[in-house]
Amino acid sequence: MSAARNAPLRRRGGALDPDRLVPRSRRALRATAVYAALVVLSLFILLPIGWMLTTALKPDTATIFTFPPEFIPTEYWRWENFVDALTAEGEPYLRYVFNTTVLVLANMTGAVVANSLIAYPFARLRFRGRNTLFVILLATLLLPAPVLLIPQFLLFFHIGWYGTYLPLVVPSFTGNAFFIFLLRQYMRTIPRELDEAARIDGAGYFTIYRRIILPLTAPALTVVAVFTFLGTWNDFFGPLIYLQDPDMFTVAVALATQVSRVGVEWNLLMASNLLAIIPPLAIYFIAQKKLIGGIASVGIRG
């Protein structure tokens, strides 16, 4: 991004820009090729979503599979499908949305509070065994998920958490190695003079954490919150194995079980599906810049 922004400045400067050494006609040709490739790729991404919207607006299943396939709604605009999807009998969609929202909010709270608390000493305090603990933290990133899955399930089963939301919420309050690492890296960039000034004014560690570190870590915390939102909203296998009562289902589980039902109405299913992707899409467009920056920073540092 920054490179792209610098480009015009450099070009104005003239002599050093390497692109100047390439003839203008070849540059134009190359730009055309790049745009053409990107347009094709974008269509590959957008057309299926367009098809989903088109289908969601159709009046019945008969109009869906006609030839040619329609990727942009032109003929049918049955917006009531969305209302029908939300209020379908036997499929309390709003209930699923509510359930999922509860899980999302609980997990976001847990992730923001726990990970920042845990990251703070790693970034700022001196204590014996800090390096060892940090290595352990990084090692847990590599732990075998499939092996943990079964005993964790048995653990939750035997303490009576099966069929409740607890297995889907409580772990987020004990921190996540990835997020701890991300926040620790970010906290280390905050000037230490601020802590020291606060110490001289008599502030304790918790006050420093609460009043100085936490507000200044807000951009990284946003990344943690957004990732947690997406992860929880989109989670499927967790709710699938821990939830029993259909009234407790999340949107993802409800959709996955609907699709296998005989005589499913595809237009309504696509409307439900579209409704399910609106929250993550909205969050993505709002937090886009930070989100992609966050992914990138995790990527390079790993």
Partner 1 sequence: MRPGAGEAGPGTTGGAAMDVPIQPIWAARRRRNQLANAEERAAFLFMSPWFIGLIFFLVVPLVYATWISLTDEQLLRVGDFVGLDNYATVLTNDDSFWTSMRVTLSWVVMTTPLFMTAGLGVALLLNQKLPGMNVFRTILYIPAVLSGVAVAILWFVLLNGEFGAVNQLLRAIGIANPPYWFEDPTWAMPALAIVGLWGIGGNAVIYLAGLQNIPPHLYEAASIDGAGDWAKFRQITLPMLSPTLFFILINSLVGAILVFPATVFVISGGTFRGGPDDSLLFAMYYIYRKVFIEGLMGYGTAVAWLLTLAGCVVVFVAFRLERRFVYYETQ
Q: Which of residues 169-208 bind partner 1 (CB under 8 A)?
A: 171, 173-175, 180, 199-200, 202-207
Cβ count within 10 A of residue 73: 16
User: Please, what is the minimum distance in Å from the beta carbon of residue 191 to partner 1?
Assistant: 19
User: Please, what is the minimum distance in Å from the beta carbon of residue 275 to partner 1?
Assistant: 10
Kindly report whether the peptide bond that precedes residue 68 is cis, defined as omega within 30 degrees of 0: yes
User: Please, what is the minimum distance in Å from the beta carbon of residue 107 to partner 1?
Assistant: 14
CA dist 17 → 6, 7, 21 (Å): 11, 9, 8
Binding to partner 1 (CB under 8 A): which residues in 212-271? 230, 233-234, 236-237, 241, 251-253, 255-257, 259-260, 266, 269-270
Please select the residue that binds partner 1; options are 75, 87, 130, 188, rule is CB under 8 A: 130
Using CB under 8 A as the binding rule, whether residue 23 contacts partner 1 is answered as no
Cβ count within 10 A of residue 40: 9
**Cα gap 233→97, rounded to integer Å:** 9
Please select the residue that binds partner 1; options are 14, 24, 74, 147, rule is CB under 8 A: 147
Binding to partner 1 (CB under 8 A): which residues in 76-95? none
Question: For tokens 């990107």, what's the residue?
Answer: 38
CA dist 114 → 168, 213, 219, 270 (Å): 15, 14, 16, 37
Using CB under 8 A as the binding rule, whether residue 102 contacts partner 1 is answered as no
Please select the residue that binds partner 1; options are 46, 83, 138, 218, rule is CB under 8 A: 46
Using CB under 8 A as the binding rule, whether residue 128 contacts partner 1 is answered as yes
Q: Which CB atom, from 222 or from 234, has the smaller least distance to partner 1?
A: 234
Using CB under 8 A as the binding rule, whether residue 4 contacts partner 1 is answered as yes
The token pair at 66 is 């006609």
Binding span for partner 1 by CB under 8 A among 72-80, 91-99, 125-133, 215-223: 125-133
Binding span for partner 1 by CB under 8 A among 87-95, 114-122, 181-189, 214-222: 114-122
Q: Which CB atom, from 2 or from 25, has the smaller least distance to partner 1?
A: 2
**Cα gap 58→271, rounded to integer Å:** 10
Binding to partner 1 (CB under 8 A): which residues in 58-77? 64-65, 67-69, 71
**Cα gap 106→296, rounded to integer Å:** 26
By CB atoms closer than 10 A (0-12, 13-18, 19+), residue 96 is: buried
Binding span for partner 1 by CB under 8 A among 82-90, 101-109, 145-153, 181-189: 145-153
User: Please, what is the minimum distance in Å from the beta carbon of residue 87 to partner 1?
Assistant: 20
